[in-house]
Structure 1
Amino acid sequence: MASARLPLQALLAAVMIQTAAAAETVPLPQPKPDTGMHTDKPIENQLPQPATTAEPAPLPSADNINPDRFGAKPADAAYGAFQRGLYKTAYNLALVRAQNGDPAAQTLVAEILSRGLGVPLNAAEAAKWYALAAEQGVPESQFQYALMLLDGRYVKKDEKEAYALMQAAAEAGNRLAQFNFAQMLVQQDPGDAGWSKAVSYYERAAATGLADAQYAMSQIYANGVGGKTRDDAHARRLLAQAARQNYDTAQIDLAAWMIEGRGGARDLKSAFGWTKQAAEGGNVAAENRLAKLYMEGIGVDPDLVLAAAWYIVARRAGLIDPQMDDFLQGLSDDQTKQALQKANRLP
């Protein structure tokens, strides 16, 4: 559960991004002369929507497991077994120590149970161990138990305790807690006071390389909220940082900014590349935008067949764009046939 985020219902409508299946009828931004001045209006406040906790986290590997998450030392035998994928062994080694009050072992047992690694998945039992370790100040357990308290499926829902635990984990340096605590602060106070309180937590999480937080900070600088002066150049750099981590919303926004010349020089070729990367990753809005780039020849040679193919992919996913529907109707029978064939081979 290391990649868990706040559940959807805990977020403000103001910070939700559009779902992939939402209709996108806004035309692409057009290249404009660089006058040295930016007269475009700030985009609406759009902070990233954290993933739900319903999907299981990826299995751990020796490269991405940090023993500090469990309050353990690298030489710890249970942690070592966990790192090597010997989950049942890790569970058996940690359980005895957990029962004797070791908070690192309690956290490890909870992690294994919550994900069903080598043992039957038991989120309710995991919650008990997370709670015990959280009481002893393990930031990872404080964060995970806070999520469970907000969710209310495996323990009684308690937003007040969740707030306190999330804050404690954030102050201790857990970057996911920092991001989610910032979201909670904005939820409590959607005004500038809430943003001002949240900014320091977003900043700390962004400094660790968390893409969600980098994107959040890009929107804060793009809109000049939370005590920050609007700074399009800084916002664009943050978008680029998140985009390089395959954060698809940042890739789409960065591409739009590059087409407009916002926050830096116009770069149509790179804009096309970022849009294509997001589209190939399965972002439906990006698939539709990529279709328009091919149709209008922005950053790439015009290709009506590929434009149609990408729109067909987006439409199959539920996105409807009247402009692109009209475009499809205007194709020849041969072009339509080619587009369908290409669409069937696209990601």
Structure 2
Amino acid sequence: MKQCLPLLALLVAAPVYAAQPELPPIEVPLSTPDQMTGSEEAVPAGDLAFAAFQRGEYMTAMNEALKRVGKKEDPAPAMTLIGVIYENGLGFNKDPAKAVEWYKLGADNGDHNSMVALALLKLEGSGTPKDPKGAADLFQQAADKGDPIAMYNVGLLELQGSVRPYDVKAATANFRKAADAGYADAQYALAMSLRQSNTPEDRKEATRLLGLATNQNHPDAAVEYAIAVFNGDGTEKDESRAAKLFLRAALKGNVIAMNRLARIYSAGRGFDEDRIRAAAWHLVARANGRSDGLLDEELTKLTPEERARADGLATQFRRQLSAALDASAADRQ
């Protein structure tokens, strides 16, 4: 999943702070044109080029896309597809410069996916000189066409305040539009902003947004949503449901969820108390950089036999996690 604003909490209270929040890299579209924004028009029904692309038949996809461009019948999506092939080196040598050429053609023909892709290359200086202003203009053009990734990125630039004027209100509006369009990163960003408010309405809306993003497998939102459910923050308190949410996130590799899950098993809240499982999840979380002095102390209280069982269970969890991550990577290919 893409990175989100770690300090979006500054969004609501930004005027109080002298420094602007550190921002993550601008979001990238997903790996295939049909997944870039989730828009139905991204993959024309019956289009031979896109069908071949989805099957991994990149030579056929290229040939069919070139035919569509030659016919000049709504060629923009095919131009975007060719750009994706060159940018990612799918069946052809990776060639950012050619990707830029095709994305520019797609953008000139009105394709919002090409606009976003070209903007990203301009930001990176890949296949073209770095051009933050040109990238910002392309993001805005795509946002005006309703592209939620572009809306989100325009919001990021408005918070960044370099190539776009620093404007918290405008950024918030763009995040809201992207969130309303179903974009998980924007839902998470807005939620973290709203949670800075002390009003019950804002905190309830924040939890609702976190739930929506969680349903799209947003890893950070999943943990924050579980915390909200555990504490009854903006929603009904339900420790059992929260424990299951933490388990689901932990099994997808979220180290914070692993730590919270270990504490849940240790305290017997949400799940029955289980010192062995608590120790096992703590060992996995600690191996992934999440320290916890309290759980370290609990480890010392285990008998040698219990510690051996915890070590064995931790190994089992690592195998499950590895298999899940491999499957997830395969699904994205």
Is TM (by shorter chain) over 0.5? yes
Q: Which amino acid aligns with 1:131?
A: K
Partner of 2:195: 222
Measure, in 2, the Cα distance between the counterparts of 1:251 and 1:12.
15
Residue 243 to residue 47, structure 1, CA distance change in 2 (3 Å): farther
Contact 1:130–1:142 (CA under 8 A) maintained in structure 2: yes
| In structure 2, distance between residues paired with 1:281 and 1:92 | 38
Kindly indicate whether the alpha-carbon contact (under 8 Å) linking 1:223 and 1:230 is maintained by their aligned counterparts in 2. Answer: no
CA–CA distance in 2 between the matches of 1:238 and 1:318? Answer: 28
Q: Does 1:89 align with 2:97?
A: no
The residue that corresponds to 1:272 in the other structure is 243
Question: Among residues 152, 171, 188, which one is paired with 2:144 in the alignment?
Answer: 171
Residue 339 of structure 1 aligns with an amino acid whose one-letter code is A
1:318 equivalent to 2:289? Answer yes
Match of 1:303 among 256, 260, 274: 274
Tell me the residue number matched to 1:26. none
Which residue is 1:330 aligned to? 301
- Contact 2:118–2:135 (CA under 8 A) maintained in structure 1: yes
Counterpart of 2:124 in structure 1 is 151
Aligned to 2:312: 341
1:1-347 → structure 2 map (5 Å cutoff): 14-15=7-8, 57=30, 68-69=41-42, 73-95=44-66, 98=69, 102-188=75-161, 194-224=167-197, 231-346=202-317, 347=321
**C-alpha contact (below 8 Å) 1:74/1:80 kept by paired residues:** no
CA separation in 1, counterparts of 2:135 and 2:181? 23
Secondary structure of the equivalent of 1:239? Answer: helix
Deviation at 1:113?
1.6
The answer on whether the counterparts of 2:229 and 2:239 sit within 8 Å (CA) in structure 1 is yes
Letter in 2 for 1:285: I
What is the CA–CA distance in structure 2 between the aligned matches of 1:182 and 1:143, rounded to whole Å?
14
| Alpha-carbon distance, 1:323 to partner | 2.0
- Alpha-carbon distance in structure 2 between the residues aligned to 1:74 and 1:231: 41
| Secondary structure of residue in 2 paired with 1:14 | coil
Counterpart CA distance in 2 for 1:255 and 1:222 is: 14
TM superposition shift of 1:302:
0.7
Q: How far does residue 204 in structure 1 lie from its aligned partner after superposition?
A: 2.0
Contact in 2 for aligned 1:275/1:286 (Cα 8 Å): yes
Distance 1:48 1:240 in 2: 23
Percent of pairs identical after alignment?
Answer: 34
> For the aligned residues, what is the CA RMSD?
3.4
Q: Aligned pair in 2 of structure 1 residues 321, 242: CA closer, same or farther (>3 Å)? A: same
Once the 2 structures are TM-superposed, how far is the Cα of residue 179 of structure 1 from its aligned partner?
Answer: 1.5
TM-score where L is the length of structure 2: 0.79
Partners in 2 of 1:251 and 1:93 — Cα distance?
40
Question: Is the alpha carbon distance of 1:12 and 1:214 closer, same or farther for their aligned partners in structure 2, counting shifts above 3 Å?
Answer: closer
Cα offset, 1:124, TM superposition? 2.7
The 2-side partners of 1:278 and 1:181 are apart by: 29
Call closer, same or farther: CA 1:97–1:130 in 2, change over 3 Å: same
Gaps spanning 5+ residues in structure 1: where? 17-44
Distance (Å, rounded) in 2 between the aligned partners of 1:65 and 1:252: 24
Q: Is the 8 A contact 2:246 2:261 kept in 1?
A: yes
Quote the Cα distance in structure 1 between the aligned partners of 2:290 and 2:27.
22
**Counterparts of 2:276 and 2:295 in 1: how far apart (Å)?**
12
Relative contact order higher in (CA < 8 Å, ≥ 6 apart)? 1
Deviations 1:44-83 (A, max 9, x none): x999956875xx9556789x9867337xx43544344334
Partner SS state of residue 152, structure 2 = helix
